[in-house]
Structures are given as structure tokens and as C-alpha cells.
Chain A
Amino acid sequence: EAGVTQFPSHSVIEKGQTVTLRCDPISGHDNLYWYRRVMGKEIKFLLHFVKESKQDESGMPNNRFLAERTGGTYSTLKVQPAELEDSGVYFCASSPVAVESSYNEQFFGPGTRLTVL
């Protein structure tokens, strides 16, 4: 069974440009999470989808970030316009159970390294 995949693995863009990151969760997983690690900081939660609905987007830094999960399958995270401080590694994770519980293990993708010049 394929794991969580992310595309691209690395993106280099200029300040002001737009970038769209994609995450394909494990098939059948209702929960999809986005996290990011910016330089020198801890990984931070961005948002959580349950199927196509945003369950929790309290970690989204500002309105330059837009996440979607149309159809409840793959998700995209768009940054528009990108700023220098957006550089970092963006991770996606998925977990199977629709109802949150203590035992809902998350499976992580390889991450997308975003560099904004």
C-alpha cells in the first residue's frame, strides 16, 4: 500500500510568486494534516481536514495560505504571494479514523522543501 506522498519534493520560487503544494494521503484516510517547519523552529501544526471539511485551521499563519481538499482525497496548500519567511519544510500526514481519538496514529509524507528567494 502506498504511503502519504507529497509533490513537489522541493520548490524554489521568488518572493511574490505563488506555489501550490500537493499531498496525497493514504487511500481511505479521512484525516489529513498539514504541518511545517521553518528554519530553526519546531514543527508547527497548520490545519486538519476531516474528509473535505476543515476541522481545525487554527495554525494557518495568515491569509496568504489557502488549503483545500476537494472530494476528500488529495489536498493542496497554496501560498500566494510567497514571502521569505515561508521558506521551510511542509509536511502532510494522514490518519484513518474519522472520529478523533487518542489512538489515531498519523502517517507522514516525505515533506516539500520550499525555498523563497
Chain B
Amino acid sequence: KNEVEQSPQNLTAQEGEFITINCSYSVGISALHWLQQHPGGGIVSLFMLSSGKKKHGRLIATINIQEKHSSLHITASHPRDSAVYICAVRSRSNYQLIWGAGTKLIIKP
């Protein structure tokens, strides 16, 4: 079992829908990252958070340290949001990033 689990693995939705991607982890962390990877592209960091909630445009990330759980929300989804969304946690013990498998999101027009 991976130390970082994401769900769902794949998600297809219609344009305009509210999207939620979940991330659960089992190790002690100092921070959690949400990253985005477009097909054939590099990785872009969306958020880094260690508590509470952050918002950037239509993206919202929340984290519950006690429950070891984070969610990434996309409001008013758009086809250009189609990408793989990856959760990665920064281990408190060695500062390494431990990565989830990613969630492949497809937004249909």
C-alpha cells in the first residue's frame, strides 16, 4: 500500500461541474503539495500547504492534518483543466517528497 493514496484514479466530468480530488497519507508530513501535469508536459506546482485552506482562482486546496487527508477542488471546471493532478507529501523525517499515483481528470465541453 502506497503511503499516499489518491482517489479517484480517473475522473470524467462535464464542463462547469464542481470537481473534488482526494488525497490520504499515512506518514508524518511537514507539507503537502498539489501538482498538475498536462499530457506531454512538465509538472506545475499548484499549492503547497501545511494547514487549513488555500485558494487560487478556481482552485481550492484543503488539508486536515489530524485526519491525514487533503482535497483539491475545482469550481466551474473547464476543458483546459484536463490534466493529471498529483498529491505529494513532504516527509517530516527526511524531507523527501512521497508521491501519489495521480488522478487523471478529463473535462468534456
Interface residue ranges, A against B (CB under 8 Å)? 33, 35, 41-45, 48, 56, 58-59, 91, 93, 100-111
Contact = CB atoms under 8 A, between A and B. Distances in A.
A108 B43 contact: yes
The DSSP consensus for interface residues of chain A is loop
Contact of B42 (A43, A45, A102, A108): A108
A107 B44 CA distance: 7
Contacts of B86: 43
Given A45-B96, A45-B97, A91 B48 contact: no
A56 B42 contact: no
A108 B44 contact: yes
Interface stretch (B10-18, B52-60, B74-82, B87-95): B87-95
6 contacts: A35-B99, A43-B86, A91-B43, A102-B30, A103-B48, A108-B43
Interface residues of B, number: 25
B101 interface: yes
A42 B102 CA distance: 8
A105 B101 CA distance: 20
Contacts of A101: 30
Interface in B26-85: 30-31, 33, 35, 41-45, 48, 50
B41 A108 contact: no
A108 B86 CA distance: 13
Nearest to B90: A102
Contacts of A109: 42
Given A33-B97, A104-B95, 5 more contacts: A43-B99, A103-B31, A105-B33, A106-B97, A110-B41
B42 A59 contact: no
